[in-house]
Amino acid sequence: MGDTKIMEVENIVKERMSIIKETAHSYDHVERVKRIATLLAEEEGADLELVGLGAILHDIGRAVGEPHNETGARLAKEILREMDYPEEVIDKVAKIVQSHRQSLGYELDTLEEEIVWDADKIDLIGVTGVLRAFHWAGAMKISFNDEVKWFRKSQIEFYDKLKTESAKIFARKRNENMMHILGVLEKELTLEDLRR
């Protein structure tokens, strides 16, 4: 993977995403996803260039509008064409970006797609995931109690949705930490922690 070329892509994405820098899906999230995806790709023997580009570009559509995976896939193609990437790489990366939001019915067809999906979800697990969820809720002006209910119902499912064995192994401790935090939170909200 050409370091100079990928750094140029990173700079483009960072600049375009600067308008959402105070959100839970800022470029900081993209950086974490890229690092996680790289670890998974090395472990799983996946194409590092495709995984790196897919991770860097996976949320660029959030700076434009929803559905961010579709706007992101279009932007990924534009950016990579401007950078003279081969059309085959462009198509594969665009599919990674499009399919990272599988809840809309997109299928994961390649190992690289699964890895970026997993890396994105791992960033929603553990202490990082808890803090991101409550950061997002505050920005959306969601009440604390509603956020706790939503978190309990949806956030804790992410570990079970991981695709690769490496992701499940890597994220196991994060999931345990998250479940512990959720248990402590529930005890505090019911005042169980204050009872003798």
3-state helix, strand, coil in the chain (%, to 5): 80, 0, 20
What domain range includes position 66?
1-103
Q: For the segment 83-101, what is each residue's pLDDT rounded down to a tens digit?
A: 999 999 999 999 999 887 7
CATH number at 90 reads: 1.10.3210.10
* Residues 90, 145 within the same domain: no
Q: What is the pLDDT of residue 149?
A: 75
Q: Quick one: 11 and 79 in the same domain?
A: yes
For residue range 24-53, what is the model confidence (pLDDT) as tens digits? 677 788 999 999 999 999 999 999 999 999
CA distances from 178 to 24, 90, 172 (A): 17, 36, 10
Query: Does residue 69 contact residue 23 with C-beta atoms inside 8 Å?
Result: no
Do 94 and 134 lie in a common domain?
no
Q: Is residue 117 part of a domain?
A: no
Which is more confident, 181 or 20?
181
**What mean pLDDT is reported for the chain?**
86
pTM above 0.85, yes or no: yes
Domain count, the chain: 2
Q: Is residue 70 part of a domain?
A: yes
